[in-house]
Amino acid sequence: MIIVLKPEATKAEVDAILARIASQGLKPLHLPGTEKIVLGAIGDERVLVKLGLEALPYVERVVPILEPYKLAGRQYRAENTVVRVGSVAIGGERPIVIAGPCAIESREQLLATARAVKAAGADLLRGGAYKPRTSPYSFQGLEEEGLKLLEEARAETGLGVVTEVVDPHDVDKVSRSADMLQIGARNMQNFALLKEAGRARKPVLLKRGMSATLEELLMSAEYLLVEGNTDVVLCERGIKTFSSATRNTLDLSIVPLVKSKSHLPIIVDPSHATGIRALVLPMSLAAIAAGADGLIIEVHATPETAQCDGMQQLTPPQFKELMAEVRRLYPVLSVRRS
Ligand code: PEP
Ligand code: MN
């Protein structure tokens, strides 16, 4: 960390800061200049955050050198993390696909969709039992009944299930039914929920908030990791931009960037990123080409009857085609990924 002091800082003030740096176990540096006084701290500067040095009247600027995240960073762990959900390895040799309806609407709808995605080769089943909806008048999900239906779909198909938890008080309950907890875009910075999910003994799929930076996404992952949950998978699901052509703007460049800065796997959700069924296949292929560790795709047995996100949910034949295209593309890229 570099600390730039205002020229009027006195020797006593300089010494006070140097002493505070040393008190945290870091090596203080003093680089007096003619125009500015520059101090440095050598060591893991992140412990200095709590000192609040930037608030001192004689401090002009504090410039961190290290990334603010620690456990999520490549410096902490050089090799890729592989997250296991049952027998499915996310971040391993090949990209995985999570598929299923936006929301669980009925037993028939969930089971028909689960059978279809299983037959097409999906690795895990998704389905929302608790739906965070923009409008309080929209369908909010079947809640506990939905969790039971997910258990039934798992028993029948053998697919592990991924479902969203929206309330910290529900983490235990959802963990009992789910194989992987999903934290949605709207809750990426719900820190109480992150702490609770960090204590859960289930892998977490952490979706990027629609206005979150890469650093904010990794800091949210840090909340899970610091609580002891190391099974964290990130998900790019589109961000808000000026463009209204698609529901969100798929920010694919974050995939290789996350991979360079973090050891955590990252998957892509082209369904919520585009909101348009016809764009899900091409954006899925683009995501895999960019190095994503997998996809999460909304599929509905009859999208025309869907209670939410009907425009973006694939039909079973469309999903089958997507799986075939992904399988065709991936081997071509495998040399680059090794
Ligand atoms: C979802 O995947 O069900 C969902 C609500 O997505 P997001 O949180 O990305 O909006
Ligand atoms: Mn949806």
Domain ranges in the chain are 2-63, 83-337
Which protein residue has the closest C-alpha to ligand 1 atom 10?
A: 185
Which protein residue has the closest C-alpha to ligand 1 atom 8?
A: 184
> Average pLDDT of 155-164?
98
Whether 334 has a pLDDT exceeding 80, the answer reads: no
* 251 burial level (CB within 10 Å; 0-12, 13-18, 19+): middle
Whether 83 has a pLDDT exceeding 90, the answer reads: yes
pLDDT, tens only, 9-42:
999 999 999 999 999 999 999 987 878 899 999 9
Which atom of ligand 1 lies closest to the CA of 298?
Answer: 2
- Does ligand 1 lie within 6 Å of residue 210's CB atom? no
Which CATH number is associated with domain 2-63? 3.30.70.1140
CA atoms within 13 A on the CB side of 22: 9
In CATH terms, the fold of domain 83-337 is: TIM Barrel (3.20.20)
> Average pLDDT of 221-230?
97
Which atom of ligand 1 lies closest to the CA of 131?
Answer: 5
> Average pLDDT of 266-295?
98
- Does ligand 1 lie within 6 Å of residue 185's CB atom? yes
- Does ligand 1 lie within 6 Å of residue 72's CB atom? no
Answer for the pair 204, 233: CB distance below 8 angstroms, yes or no: yes
What is the secondary structure of 89-140 as a DSSP string? EETSSS-EEEEE-SB---HHHHHHHHHHHHHHT-SEEE-BSS---SSTTS--
What pLDDT shows up at residue 304?
A: 98
Give the Cα separation of 205 and 186 in Å (integer): 13
Spacing, Cα 275 to ligand 2 middle (Å): 9
- Does ligand 1 lie within 6 Å of residue 164's CB atom? yes
Ligand 1 pocket: which of 98, 102, 204 to mutate (most atoms within 8 A of CB):
102
What is the secondary structure of 271-297 as a DSSP string? HHHH--HHHHHHHHHHHHHTT-SEEEE
- Does ligand 1 lie within 6 Å of residue 67's CB atom? no
Strand order in the sheet with 27-32: 27-32, 37-42, 2-5, 59-63
What pLDDT shows up at residue 198?
A: 98
SS3 at position 142? coil
Cα–Cα distance list, 155 to 115, 158, 159, 180, 181 (Å): 11, 6, 8, 16, 18
Answer for the pair 90, 233: CB distance below 8 angstroms, yes or no: yes
Give the Cα separation of 200 and 230 in Å (integer): 10
Ligand 1 pocket: which of 272, 299, 308 to mutate (most atoms within 8 A of CB):
272
- Does ligand 1 lie within 6 Å of residue 237's CB atom? yes
SS3 at position 159? coil
Give the Cα separation of 261 and 246 in Å (integer): 28
In terms of DSSP bridges, do strands 204-207 and 180-183 run parallel, antiparallel, or are they unpaired?
parallel
- Does ligand 1 lie within 6 Å of residue 102's CB atom? yes
- Does ligand 1 lie within 6 Å of residue 247's CB atom? no
Whether 131 has a pLDDT exceeding 70, the answer reads: yes
pLDDT, tens only, 182-205:
999 999 999 999 999 999 999 999
Among residues 299, 287, 297, the alpha carbon closest in space to that of 330 is found at 287
Place of tokens 């909340």: 223
Whether 50 has a pLDDT exceeding 90, the answer reads: no
pLDDT, tens only, 63-72:
998 899 999 9
Answer for the pair 41, 19: CB distance below 8 angstroms, yes or no: no
Among residues 109, 80, 105, 85, the alpha carbon closest in space to that of 97 is found at 85
Which atom of ligand 1 lies closest to the CA of 184?
Answer: 8
Which atom of ligand 1 lies closest to the CA of 185?
Answer: 8
Whether 338 has a pLDDT exceeding 50, the answer reads: no
Amino acid at 249: T
Confidence of residue 337 (pLDDT cuts 50, 70, 90): low
What pLDDT shows up at residue 335?
A: 52
Cβ-defined contacts of 209-215 (< 8 Å, 24+): 209/185, 210/185, 210/186, 210/237, 210/238, 210/239, 210/240, 210/248, 211/239, 211/240, 212/188, 212/239, 214/254, 214/257, 214/258, 214/261, 215/67, 215/68, 215/69
Give the Cα separation of 209 and 239 in Å (integer): 7
Give the Cα separation of 23 and 318 in Å (integer): 62
> Average pLDDT of 102-124?
98
> Average pLDDT of 235-246?
98
Give the chain's mean pLDDT: 96
Confidence of residue 46 (pLDDT cuts 50, 70, 90): confident
Among 60-64, 171-175, 217-221, 235-239, the minimum mean pLDDT is found in 60-64
Spacing, Cα 112 to ligand 2 middle (Å): 18
Identify which ligand lies nearest to the alpha carbon of 186.
1
pTM: 0.94
Which atom of ligand 1 lies closest to the CA of 235?
Answer: 9
